[in-house]
Amino acid sequence: MSAKLPLILGSGSVFRRAQLERLGVNFQTAAPDFDETPAAGENAADTALRLAEGKARSLAARFPAALVIGADQVAWCNDRQLGKPMNVANAQQMLRDLSGRKIEFYSAIVLLNTASGRIQRHVDNTSVVMRALTDGQIERYLAREPDAVYCAGAAKSEGLGAALLERIDSSDPNALIGLPIFKLVEFLKNEGVEII
């Protein structure tokens, strides 16, 4: 039955949409309606998972018989969560703070079968070491990669942001972009959807 349910990507992210398109599956996108404010005392992995699940569940009434993908990513460095800078000035400061440091990215994925209520959850951890960056390098990067202001930590790794990175340790290189594809393929298979 699940194989016939429509697949919904609960995200407005063009990056996640592009990742899912590469799998060659039919899907539609829907913008979730969920407050993304971190909860007090919550660690980064828990925040990412709570937000991913909240996004998926926020679409359940709109899609009562579907497979809904919820995803979120939280970056952690210097004992604090890093959000999306949303403008160049914030991105410049964030990249100065991250220069030469190790950052942990927690990429959560949830697949909610709204027909059965079954939910599958996973958080992927990716460790990234940033290169030591000069102010000039940061300015040139942001001028050439303006969408980076919408990425956690301002590092758009699938683009020019790869030049900011010295090392990446991950079990799924897709997770850093925002969608842990390896786990999603497993979740879909559990629902009767074969990618290959």
> What does the block give as tokens for 15?
């990056």
Is 147 an annotated catalytic residue?
no
Residue 22, classified by CB atoms within 10 Å of its CB into exposed (0-12), middle (13-18) or buried (19+), is exposed
> What does the block give as tokens for 125?
């951890």
CA distances from 104 to 7, 27, 95, 124, 183 (A): 29, 30, 14, 10, 19
CB 35 within 8 A of CB 95: no
The CA-CA-CA angle for residues 157, 40, 50, to 5°, reads 55
Q: Look at the block and give the residue holding tokens 């349910």.
A: 5
Strand ranges, E, within the chain: 7-10, 28-29, 67-77, 80-82, 102-113, 119-130, 165-169
The partner residues of 109 in beta bridges, in order of sequence, read 71, 122
Active-site residue identified among 33, 35, 72, 169: 72
DSSP state of 132: P
CB 28 within 8 A of CB 6: yes
Q: Which of 51, 58, 9 is nearest to 30 (CA)?
A: 9
Give catalytic residues, as residue numbers.
Answer: 72
